[in-house]
Structure 1
Amino acid sequence: MMNAQTTKIALLLAASAVTMALTGCGGSDGNDGNPGEPGGEPAPAIQTLNFTFDKSVVTNGVPSVEFTVTNEDDLPVVGLQKMRFAAAQLIPQGATGAGNASQWQYFGDETCDVAATCPGTFVDKKNGHYSYTFNMNLTANAKITYNDQLAQRVLIRAYNTPLPDATQVPNSNAFVDFTADTGAAPTYSRKIVATESCNTCHQDLGNAHHGGSYNDVNYCATCHTAGKVGVGKEFNVLIHAKHKDLTLGSLESCQSCHAANDAANDAANDAANDAAPDWANWSRIPTAATCGSCHSTVDFAAGKGHSQQLDNSNCIACHNSDWTAELHTVKTVDKKVLINKYGIEASSVVDSATKAATISIQVTDSKGSPVDISALLPQIQRVEIITNVGPNNIALSYFTKDSVIAVKNGVLDSKASIVDGKLVYTTTKPLPFGAVKTDTDTSVTFVNWAMCSLNAQFVACAEPTFDGSDVSKYTSMKADIAFATLSGEKPSTRHVDSVNFSTCANCHGSEWESRYHKGNNSPGFVMSEQLAHSKDATGKPIVGLDGCATCHTPHGTYASGKNKGALEMKLHVVHGEQGVIKECTQCHNDFNLDAFKVKGALATSAGKYTTPITATCTSCHNHNPMKAHSQAVLEGFGAIIDGDYTQANQAAQSETCFYCHKPTPTDHTQVKM
């Protein structure tokens, strides 16, 4: 907590001559309070609980803490009803054996419910100050030997139990590390990952596990310790095992989570650095347990996949910190170098007589200068060209779209050619163009490609004997998108102003290589500014996901159904099932509701279609309850649920949801009053 805040509280509370019988925050009239009484109205809601620890000691084996709780407006919170207090101590690095990492030992916890039971002594001083003295004596623990020379930790969980005046409070966590006798800060720590690193993807860590109970990674790391949880559930093992198989670009580098804050030395960065001062432990202190949690095929004790190691004493002799860090980051660095070496510029024109689109692809170097694709052809693993019609309401299904692998393992397809150093392809399937100045007057082409690579270099595709399934032998490159119209009018490009692409990159990586599409059937692609065809208010290019819609059509992908359906639905369903979504603002910086005016029906089950607004809503909200709601209400306002395609498509613009609803990213439940 900032010094200004602490000072404010100190001045506020120092004036108190008597305690106050408050059940909310602040005074009662919005004016300065009486002497010894805080002023201001009670906070109508508490969004955040902020903890300041005033004193923490262990006396004759019994821990006690004194702390202050404020809300987001820096006002004291009074009347907390239910809290859990836990105690732990930290064994320093090397104390249990040469090469061993530091290790938390969890003594236990006590839950204090003011309305029921409280094992220890809990005091609410009615002015934002609290204290708790444990009932447990650490010296009496049969499994752990208490040592008053070790760093001690007390953790707090504040439950979301309402205050006596019914004010809601959020689940919150806090902790304090201290020396047992004086309460001073300990001389060593084990704070390896900052909660903010976790929240880059999870948004709110507490929402991911344990029903939203714990939102501080330090609570997780202290509780998931040997003796407290089963083998394999220790934090350093569990967390790697859970993340290592996720196909997220940001997880390819250890430093995505184990990160130092190297920015200017200011208060914010001081706080960030303090959150994870031991961030470099991952490379500095290698152990069999931690390394084996990612390198899961290695059995160190048995000597399988590595020379036999019965303990951690020799690890650092070979795996020094600099070498370990370089080894675990060089792959990401090398790949970025390859990805940025070349780009492409795709363009398209439509023949008004044949209604075919001719796509030209110019390769460029890192400076934007043109490169003759003939010179690179032996190294090009694949070039995939996908063309559809109607960027906002894709006309052709996944199976009827026009697509071609124009290059495969350095060999040019017979339907493609090289003209003036450019790759040229003309669509062969009928493109169902519509009327002038409508969405279907526009064709959209998505180009993705890859180059054969080995040992951080591009190589001829014959050299790695590529078979299509070993994705380590090629590097996906930056994709591009091109629009063209039958009429020659300005294209109807898909809206890209709803999703903040940087939030995608937070999880998928700044060089987002879509490995979901990488393998036998597709070269994969990298999402980058090369795809931008629009700019924001500051002139910065907007990277959109509109190229994805060429395959993720309203008719579905591979099979009908919301899980494999239109892009509007699939992203919600997949991220919802993964527990990523908490609120709309995680991904959306805007809701372009006008986009629905050019959308048609979306496949929501096998052979069945739903009008677009309702279909999009049901991708987050469970389909069956939404269907019941629609039958009772929405169908009277134009919605069609799981109907015939023609019927639902004709009714697409008849939905009147937005007559009442006015969703925004910050409040998607908002209605017009």
Structure 2
Amino acid sequence: MRLHQRSKGWMKWTLVVMVLLASTALVSSTKPPFTERDKAFYADEALVNFVRPGLVFTVVSPSIASDGTLTVRFKMTDPKGAALEREGINTPGAVSSSFILATIPSGNKFYQSYSSRLKTSTYAPTVGKQARQAAADTGGRYVKVSDGVYDYTFGTKLPASYDKTATHTVAIYGSRNLTEFDLGTNYASTTYSFVPDGTAVKKVRDVISTSSCDKCHDDLSFHGGSRKGVEVCVICHTPAYTLNGVTVDNTNPETGNTIDMTPMVHKIHAGSSLASVQAGGKYQIVGFGNAVSDFSAVNMPSKPNNCQWCHEKGNTATQKDAWLTQPSRTACGSCHDTTNFATGEGHVGLPQATDNQCSTCHIPQGEIDFDASIKGAHVVEQASSLTRGAVAKIVSIENAKPGQQPVLTISLKDLSGADMDIKELIPGAGRGRLAITLAGPTTDYGTGISGTGTNGYVTDNLTVTSMTGGPGTYKYTFSKVIPTGATGTWVFAVEGRTDETILTGTQKQRTYEVNIPNDVKFFSVDGTAVVERRKIVETATCNNCHYNLTLHGENRNEIQNCVICHNPNMTDAARRPAAQAPNESISMASMVHRIHTGKEQPRDYTIYGFGSAAINFNGAAFPEPASARSCNMCHSTNTQNLPAAGILPVTDPRGWLTTAGTASAACLSCHASKDAASHALANTSALGESCATCHGPSADFAVSKVHAQ
């Protein structure tokens, strides 16, 4: 009977699609609200109007019967509110859904789920070990109320003694399978809080907003993608508890590690910085199918002590200040994971039996940075109020025509805006640095200046005696002339750092490097209009994850400065030992794509840096679920699309193509197989690359389209 119904449904779908296709030219319809990261954005309009991709769960109302039976009335719709059917017979795509009911008991601040599961390890080192974990309800039943509206009756009953005055939260998560339409699987989650006695909800668990996580994670979702957002995560990932006579320990039986949200998330993000890991240990969680997630190598780009990067000021969570006002042994011991609060080891010898006194010493903010206050103890040195810092800017450029030796006027101030003496910035003995780089033309760096050994750029390191004037304003005559025959727009870039010593004479005295914000100044050498170098990525976008992207001894921190040296002709030849030949490309697109996809690269990716130090990126990866497919996480609006803007071929001695066109080099840095390289080579002729023919913005295999999710 079900097969017959499905057959009838397919006939209905086919007829509807045919009608829609036939009427497309006559009727205009508004496309659903999808972005360029979604497969549906690129699908045929008639198909999208019929399938109406997407999934939204909405809780209408929960009700609890006198015997403790909970029934939740909910809706399943597409993003525009059109009803969906669970079975996927009369509306495209079957929908699966799961339900959780949890409460925040009186005197507690964490959720406790009424349903749980007993997980038994089949992982070789710990076979048979068991742990009970919070989980979705089982044994429930569905009743259709109307189109898109259903009642779900939980299989788990509330005990007679359940607290009717406590916050209760229903979570729904699930998926809609649209793979037969090449629209992937759509995931959705939602939560709904209520108090059974009908009073207003007063107690919540809302410390971090999902938007804060999405800065790096793109679209926070786990367990196959169906659990979306922090609001759902905190329902199950809680400390151990006993509810209705059942003890839920919420540990990972394979490793013994807790899956409580607070320690788990802190440990994951601290990863390689954990004291236990640095002592030779591992931090791992074994998941579905015995997949081992090893977080021991995680290197958080914004630094794990930068609490405010996640607990940010823009956090919309209602309890966003909990990290400041409610310090605990669990939270602090997550990162400081060799601290023994019972004995006092690692805690200035002070045992701590409860959390009651934590806030006595660890107040939100003290009188001075690097004290025992929460903000003070976790201040990022560059952002410390004790840091003087420096800001150097190019005020003007004179004598900058071909064959002339440019003269620059440079402003030098500290972070407060006060004039700074160059002697304070560069006091000698290797302390501090200020440098200026010249390159051009902006159409593509790499060839404008020859004979410098740097493939298209030259850098002057400034000294106290090479500058005139000051404090605050200086003149500097650049060491090289603008090349004869130079045309178009060229660039000067200022970079450097200060060496700061603070809290002198105290036990907290420290010296550290502080980057000088790079100043990039474009200028015309022949009187033509100034045309800045193309912007593929904005520094601010990088800093969504990196917080303050600074490299090369804190000297480089602006993408428009990075691309000067990391041009198409550059390799690590200057640093790579001869025995490790051939050299590696450090052209910006190739290098950055390879770094961010290190874990997926089929070959070793190691760059040799200062002091011939080998830097290996084989373990690097985007923070899940973000991936290399999430192009617009990094790229400025659609700058990943073809045709590529560069004009110079890329030197890639270790690549399949030792010289590659701009588009080929960028694409092959992620798609690094021999087959992909052969494809690129076959579509490159003496006239150039033909990539845009198939992969251009409107082509069948457009870059954004094939990376959509």
TM-score category, normalised to shorter length: 0.5 to 0.7
What corresponds to 2:122 in structure 1? none
Q: In structure 1, how many angstroms separate the alpha carbons of the residues matched to 2:342 and 2:57?
A: 45
Paired residue type of 2:85: V
Unpaired runs of 5+ residues, structure 1, are: 1-20, 32-40, 96-100, 111-116, 262-271, 465-469, 528-544, 639-650
Q: In structure 2, how many angstroms separate the alpha carbons of the residues matched to 1:281 and 1:92?
A: 18
Match of 2:493 among 427, 446, 452: 446
Match of 2:217 among 199, 202, 221: 202
CA shift in 2, pair 1:434/1:67, >3 Å: farther
CA shift in 2, pair 1:353/1:591, >3 Å: closer
Asked if the contact 2:98–2:173 (Cα under 8 Å) also holds between the matched residues in 1, the reply is yes
Asked if the contact 1:49–1:69 (Cα under 8 Å) also holds between the matched residues in 2, the reply is yes
- Is it true that 1:70 corresponds to 2:77 in the alignment? yes
What corresponds to 1:215 in structure 2? 228
- After superposition, what is the alpha-carbon deviation per residue over 1:57-108, rounded to whole angstroms, capped at 9, x for unaligned? 3764544321123322122233353122233333455x5xxxxx53545632
SS of the residue corresponding to residue 186 of structure 2 reads coil
Q: In structure 1, how many angstroms separate the alpha carbons of the residues matched to 2:112 and 2:647?
A: 55
- After superposition, what is the alpha-carbon deviation per residue over 1:278-325, rounded to whole angstroms, capped at 9, x for unaligned? 222112211111012233453323312312213323213333445545
Asked if the contact 1:402–1:427 (Cα under 8 Å) also holds between the matched residues in 2, the reply is no
Q: In structure 2, how many angstroms separate the alpha carbons of the residues matched to 1:353 and 1:42?
A: 60
What corresponds to 2:459 in structure 1? 403
Paired residue type of 1:243: H
SS of the residue corresponding to residue 566 of structure 2 reads coil
Unpaired runs of 5+ residues, structure 2, are: 1-8, 21-26, 28-47, 87-93, 119-136, 240-248, 274-298, 367-372, 574-580, 598-620
Q: In structure 2, how many angstroms separate the alpha carbons of the residues matched to 1:165 and 1:615?
A: 33
What corresponds to 1:477 in structure 2? 516
- After superposition, what is the alpha-carbon deviation per residue over 1:4-27, rounded to whole angstroms, capped at 9, x for unaligned? xxxxxxxxxxxxxxxxx9999xx9
Paired residue type of 1:591: T
- Is it true that 1:172 corresponds to 2:188 in the alignment? yes
What corresponds to 1:229 in structure 2? 251
- Percent sequence identity over aligned pairs: 20
What corresponds to 2:281 in structure 1? none
Alpha-carbon offset, residue 192 of structure 1: 0.9
Alpha-carbon offset, residue 447 of structure 1: 1.9
Q: In structure 1, how many angstroms separate the alpha carbons of the residues matched to 2:468 and 2:300?
A: 35
Q: In structure 1, how many angstroms separate the alpha carbons of the residues matched to 2:365 and 2:202?
A: 25
- Is it true that 1:524 corresponds to 2:572 in the alignment? no
Alpha-carbon offset, residue 119 of structure 1: 2.7
Q: In structure 2, how many angstroms separate the alpha carbons of the residues matched to 1:212 and 1:75?
A: 23
Q: In structure 2, how many angstroms separate the alpha carbons of the residues matched to 1:302 and 1:312?
A: 15
Asked if the contact 2:642–2:692 (Cα under 8 Å) also holds between the matched residues in 1, the reply is no
Paired residue type of 2:251: V
- Is it true that 1:55 corresponds to 2:62 in the alignment? yes
Asked if the contact 2:498–2:513 (Cα under 8 Å) also holds between the matched residues in 1, the reply is yes
CA shift in 2, pair 1:163/1:592, >3 Å: closer
Asked if the contact 1:120–1:132 (Cα under 8 Å) also holds between the matched residues in 2, the reply is yes
- After superposition, what is the alpha-carbon deviation per residue over 1:255-289, rounded to whole angstroms, capped at 9, x for unaligned? 4433566xxxxxxxxxx85xx22222112211111
What corresponds to 1:102 in structure 2? 110
- Is it true that 1:311 corresponds to 2:319 in the alignment? no
Alpha-carbon offset, residue 54 of structure 1: 1.7
- Is it true that 1:504 corresponds to 2:542 in the alignment? yes
- Is it true that 1:578 corresponds to 2:622 in the alignment? yes
Q: In structure 1, how many angstroms separate the alpha carbons of the residues matched to 2:64 and 2:414?
A: 63
- Is it true that 1:378 corresponds to 2:427 in the alignment? yes
Alpha-carbon offset, residue 615 of structure 1: 1.6
Paired residue type of 2:346: G
Alpha-carbon offset, residue 548 of structure 1: 0.9
What corresponds to 2:393 in structure 1? 344
SS of the residue corresponding to residue 393 of structure 1 reads coil
SS of the residue corresponding to residue 171 of structure 1 reads strand
Q: In structure 1, how many angstroms separate the alpha carbons of the residues matched to 2:52 and 2:510?
A: 52
Alpha-carbon offset, residue 55 of structure 1: 1.7
Q: In structure 1, how many angstroms separate the alpha carbons of the residues matched to 2:689 and 2:433?
A: 43
Paired residue type of 1:158: G
SS of the residue corresponding to residue 503 of structure 1 reads helix
Number of residue pairs the alignment of both structures matches: 548
Larger deviation, residues 75-84 vs 147-156:
147-156
- Is it true that 1:618 corresponds to 2:644 in the alignment? no
Paired residue type of 1:406: L
TM-score by length of 1: 0.68
Q: In structure 1, how many angstroms separate the alpha carbons of the residues matched to 2:56 and 2:644?
A: 40
Asked if the contact 1:406–1:425 (Cα under 8 Å) also holds between the matched residues in 2, the reply is no
Taking the TM superposition and a 5 Å limit, the aligned residue runs for 1:465-614 are 473-483=512-522, 487=526, 493-496=532-535, 498-509=536-547, 512=548, 514-517=549-552, 522-527=553-558, 545-558=559-572, 565-576=586-597, 577-579=621-623, 580-581=626-627, 582-586=629-633, 587-591=635-639, 596=644, 598-606=646-654, 608-614=658-664
Paired residue type of 1:228: N
Asked if the contact 1:84–1:109 (Cα under 8 Å) also holds between the matched residues in 2, the reply is no
Alpha-carbon offset, residue 623 of structure 1: 4.0
Alpha-carbon offset, residue 394 of structure 1: 2.3
Larger deviation, residues 164-173 vs 63-72:
164-173
TM-score by length of 2: 0.65
Asked if the contact 2:55–2:176 (Cα under 8 Å) also holds between the matched residues in 1, the reply is no
Q: In structure 1, how many angstroms separate the alpha carbons of the residues matched to 2:269 and 2:67?
A: 42
What corresponds to 2:276 in structure 1? none
SS of the residue corresponding to residue 412 of structure 2 reads strand
CA shift in 2, pair 1:365/1:332, >3 Å: closer
Asked if the contact 1:52–1:69 (Cα under 8 Å) also holds between the matched residues in 2, the reply is no
Alpha-carbon offset, residue 494 of structure 1: 0.8
